[in-house]
Amino acid sequence: MIDRDYLKTLAAYHNERGFMLTVSLSTSRLDDWRQTAPTFLNSEFNRIIKERNPEKEYKRILEEDFQRVLEVLNYEVEQRTQGLVVVADGSQGVFEHLQLPLRLQNRLIVEPHPYIRPLVHAMAVMESFLVVRVSRDESSIYLVDWWQLTREDSFEGPYLRSGDRETGEAPVKEYYAAARQESLVDQHFKDVGQALDRLLEETGVRRVAICGQHEIAVKFCRQLPARTNAKVVAEIPCDASASLNQLLVAAREAIYDARIGEQSRLVTRVHEGLGPQGLGVAGFDQTMQALALGQVQILLVERGHRPPGCMCMQEGLIRVTEEAACPACGGPTIYLDDILGEAVRQAILQGAEVEVVERVDLLHDMGGIAALLRYK
Ligand SMILES: [Zn+2]
């Protein structure tokens, strides 16, 4: 399972000679990967060995690591897996592999650090969330983690409690007595709200979707504590014929859309904060500078934007252009497949937040990378 600490551990691995192997692959049946993946990997691996021409000892270690990757592919990929990531460096005994319920692009990278950007994106996409299905009769809270329902809490409302659960028939007198007692319904909403509050506290979940008739959802949300209400980012219509799974998928999509809206506002905020007085920076060099100074609170990178570049092997300076020798110190450089991946890695290492931003043109105009700073 990926969490922030695990990503941080991965981000810290370093091979001084630049021989850290990262493989990411789609293992979705849709991609016919058992046929295509080994061919792709072999050709990429041979190309890189040829280009980099490592000394005998390092070549042997890389080849062993590569064989282990192929073994994982042959024997260890589970049915449900859609994406696989392996990070390997036999010279340090590093061999990590992760299987995800999410398709990934095929890549084989040999660089000084693991390429963790796809994992950071996967973690955001598979973010845990809560769904509250609320009604006057009966409400439930669902916890979805890694696209799996992992917990369900149910709450009876006053109507059910006063009726006959077996037959569903409520004695008329009691029914009307309860119906008049709106306070009981309020109490029910309050109970669910408190449970939601506790669950948010306990799980650290950041986003909640509400499912119910609109006026009931509004009423329910109105009585939530402000900090809990702030986490309700989506409302989905209540469809009595939908299965629980359909409900959870609809919630996941609504939360995803809400995230994109949040990202768009964040990009605007950073854009407004550009300039000497503000807390925004944009563009690769400025953002890397802010990262080097530990100023970054939230790093924003544009999804799918992967400019190549090079890194100085002596001091780690990264440039957008490919140069054989470092313009600053004259030392040797290494080709980087995606320099934004290195920005993401450094942000994770520092404990900064990372947003992989989708469908926000303004970020593209700002160079595909920007940051909100803690201070200046
Ligand atoms: Zn240098």
* Of the options 3.30.1330.30, 3.30.460.80, 3.40.50.720, 3.40.50.300, the CATH number for the domain spanning 273-376: 3.30.1330.30
Q: Give 319-335 as a DSSP string.
A: ESS--SB-TTT--BEEE
pLDDT given for residue 171 in this prediction: 63
Q: List the chain domain ranges.
A: 1-126, 129-266, 273-376
* Of the options 3.40.50.970, 3.30.2090.10, 1.10.287.3610, 3.30.960.10, the CATH number for the domain spanning 1-126: 3.30.960.10
Cα(112) to centroid(ligand 1), Å: 14
Cα(318) to centroid(ligand 1), Å: 9
Cα(312) to centroid(ligand 1), Å: 5
Cα(311) to centroid(ligand 1), Å: 8
pLDDT given for residue 376 in this prediction: 83
Cα(331) to centroid(ligand 1), Å: 5
Nearest in space to 90 (alpha carbons), one of 23, 20, 6, 176: 20
CA distance 279 to 277: 7
Cα(333) to centroid(ligand 1), Å: 8
Task: Report the chain's mean pLDDT, rounded to a whole number.
Answer: 91
- CA–CA distance from 259 to each of 195, 196, 357, 370 (Å)? 24, 20, 9, 17
Vertex 16, ends 11 and 19: CA angle to 5°? 80
Q: Are 249 and 241 spatial neighbours (Cβ–Cβ below 8 Å)?
A: no
pLDDT given for residue 45 in this prediction: 98
Cα(200) to centroid(ligand 1), Å: 46
Cα(14) to centroid(ligand 1), Å: 17
Q: Are 333 and 52 spatial neighbours (Cβ–Cβ below 8 Å)?
A: no
Cα(274) to centroid(ligand 1), Å: 28
Cα(296) to centroid(ligand 1), Å: 23
The one-letter code for the residue type at 271 is: H
Cα(123) to centroid(ligand 1), Å: 33
Cα(315) to centroid(ligand 1), Å: 5
Instruction: Decide: residue 11, CB within 10 A, 0-12 exposed, 13-18 middle, 19+ buried.
Output: buried
Task: List residues, by chain if needed, whose CB lies under 5 Å from ion ligand 1.
Answer: 312, 314-315, 317, 326, 328-329, 331
CA distance 23 to 105: 10
Is the whole-model pTM more than 0.85? yes
Instruction: Decide: residue 365, CB within 10 A, 0-12 exposed, 13-18 middle, 19+ buried.
Output: exposed
Cα(25) to centroid(ligand 1), Å: 32
Cα(341) to centroid(ligand 1), Å: 19
Q: Are 300 and 290 spatial neighbours (Cβ–Cβ below 8 Å)?
A: no
pLDDT given for residue 190 in this prediction: 94
Cα(17) to centroid(ligand 1), Å: 14
pLDDT given for residue 136 in this prediction: 86
What are residue 257's phi and psi, to 5 degrees?
-65, -40
pLDDT given for residue 113 in this prediction: 97
Cα(169) to centroid(ligand 1), Å: 79
pLDDT given for residue 240 in this prediction: 83
- CA–CA distance from 200 to each of 128, 196, 249, 250, 336 (Å)? 11, 6, 20, 20, 40
Fold agreement (129-266, 273-376): no
Can you list the alpha helix ranges (DSSP code H) found in 273-338?
Answer: 284-292
CATH superfamily of 129-266: eRF1 domain 2 (3.30.420.60)
- Per-residue model confidence as pLDDT tens digits over 149-184: 999 999 987 755 544 555 555 566 666 665 556 788
Q: Are 270 and 372 spatial neighbours (Cβ–Cβ below 8 Å)?
A: yes
Cα(138) to centroid(ligand 1), Å: 64
Cα(242) to centroid(ligand 1), Å: 59
pLDDT given for residue 182 in this prediction: 76
Residues 6+ apart with CB under 8 A from 59: 49
pLDDT given for residue 80 in this prediction: 85
Cα(214) to centroid(ligand 1), Å: 60
The beta strand positions in the chain, using DSSP E, are 20-26, 83-89, 94-100, 107-111, 129-133, 138-145, 148-156, 208-211, 232-236, 280-282, 296-302, 309-312, 318-319, 333-336, 353-357, 369-373
Low-confidence ranges of the chain (pLDDT < 50): 162-163
